[in-house]
């Protein structure tokens, strides 16, 4: 029997009530936890170890860390959170919901993992990220994050001057095409059963973007397994080394239904609605990163985690002061 190696070493789950639970250990979640831990808040990050950018070789567009593998950024992030007393727990959240308030009226939430363990927290930061929903074209998913790409800023430089195909998924793909045209002169737009208006066709022609209306049936590989092109319904194979696709983006919401967070429809997918610093309409719950900002890169997600973590600390400080004012003393925190 094959032995599965955990993606990272897990801390023990706190038994005491903690100041904050962060659900999701990507850039947003870890940076939010870092801010809280540095503010001497007890914080637990719960992360399944399956980041969205795992297929990518490197993170790009992140100042001072451009070219760093995603796994290395997360490793350093976990190490830094732990440096200030935070915990990072490997696990999958299956439920998160409000619990009975404390004796002084402060908020409480219960977060339960797939193995039955649970933790109680005063505040919750949701940073679960999203998943990319690709078109059902055989061979597409196998090259995802390599020669099938989605972001001109994340992968564009690496595929510059290659023969690139845009596999259209809807109106968002039109803008996608102009961004990738900046990176190559050999660009083909496959409408793939989507509508393309005459104005866009004229603009494509002006930029030398070829348009093919025949639907795509599959991605074709060469003898070495590298992407070689796409096959059309008429049997023709159009040679391409890279396929860019604006996948539908869906926030990871499974197991979080009990929080009652509103989900909103956006042009590129569905995510949680949020206000300033990631605050939601549910008291005590914040969101940060791709779960609410679908197109945020790693740097923007990390910055959102900072804002959310600082706002959570601000609200906890107010709650501690309210408790002290009424004679109960600040709500207890734990050293985790």
Per-residue model confidence as pLDDT tens digits over 35-86: 999 999 999 999 999 888 888 889 999 999 999 999 999 999 999 999 999 9
| First CA to last CA distance, the chain | 35
What integer is the mean pLDDT of 101-118? 96
Category of 197 on φ-ψ map: left (φ > 0), alpha (ψ -120 to 50) or beta: beta
For the chain, domains (ranges, CATH) are 18-131+248-325 (3.50.50.60), 135-245 (3.50.50.60)
pLDDT at 327: 77
pLDDT at 3: 54
**Does the pLDDT value for residue 332 go beyond 80?**
no
| DSSP reduced 3-state for 220 | strand
**Does the pLDDT value for residue 334 go beyond 50?**
no
Give the DSSP H/E element, type plus range, for residue 118.
strand 118-126
pTM: 0.93
Lowest mean pLDDT across 149-153, 184-188, 326-330? 326-330
By the 8 A CB rule, do 226 and 163 touch?
A: no
What integer is the mean pLDDT of 224-240? 97
CA distance 110 to 197: 51
**Does the pLDDT value for residue 331 go beyond 70?**
no
pLDDT at 98: 98
CA distance 201 to 209: 9
- Please give the radius of gyration of the chain, using alpha carbons only, rounded to the nearest integer: 23
pLDDT at 266: 75
| DSSP reduced 3-state for 149 | strand
Helix 27-38 vs helix 70-83: angle between axes, to the nearest 10 degrees? 20
- Mean per-residue pLDDT of the chain: 94
CA distance 156 to 304: 24
The two tokens of residue 35 are 């801010």
Choose between 334 and 260: higher pLDDT.
260
pLDDT at 147: 95
């Amino acid at each position: 029997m094959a032995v599965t190696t955990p993606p990272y070493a897990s801390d023990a789950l706190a038994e005491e009530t903690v100041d904050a639970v962060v659900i999701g250990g990507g850039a947003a979640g870890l940076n939010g936890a870092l801010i809280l831990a540095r503010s001497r808040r007890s914080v637990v990050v719960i992360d399944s170890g399956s980041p969205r950018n795992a297929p990518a070789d490197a993170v790009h567009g992140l100042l001072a860390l451009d070219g760093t593998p995603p796994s290395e950024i997360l490793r350093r992030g976990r190490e830094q959170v732990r440096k200030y007393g935070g915990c990072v727990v490997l696990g999958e959240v299956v439920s998160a919901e409000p619990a009975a308030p404390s004796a002084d009226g402060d908020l409480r939430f219960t977060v339960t993992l797939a193995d039955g363990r649970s933790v109680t927290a005063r505040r919750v930061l949701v940073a679960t990220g999203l998943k990319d929903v690709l078109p059902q074209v055989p061979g597409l998913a196998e090259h995802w994050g390599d020669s099938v790409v989605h972001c001109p800023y994340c992968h564009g430089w690496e595929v510059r001057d290659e023969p690139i195909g845009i596999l259209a998924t809807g109106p968002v793909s039109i803008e996608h095409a102009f961004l990738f045209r900046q990176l190559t002169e050999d660009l083909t737009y496959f409408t793939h059963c989507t509508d393309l208006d005459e104005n866009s066709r004229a603009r494509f022609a002006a930029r030398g973007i070829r348009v093919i209306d025949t639907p795509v049936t599959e991605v074709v590989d060469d003898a070495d397994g590298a992407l070689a092109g796409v096959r059309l319904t008429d049997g023709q194979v159009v040679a391409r080394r890279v396929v860019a696709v604006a996948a539908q983006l869906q926030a990871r919401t499974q197991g979080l239904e009990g929080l009652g967070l509103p989900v909103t429809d956006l042009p590129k997918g569905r995510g949680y609605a949020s206000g300033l610093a990631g605050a939601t309409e549910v008291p005590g719950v914040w969101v940060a990163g791709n779960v609410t900002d679908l197109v945020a890169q790693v740097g923007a997600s990390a910055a959102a985690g900072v804002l959310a973590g600082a706002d959570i600390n601000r609200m906890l400080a107010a709650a501690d002061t309210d408790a002290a004012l009424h004679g109960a003393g600040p709500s207890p925190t734990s050293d985790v």
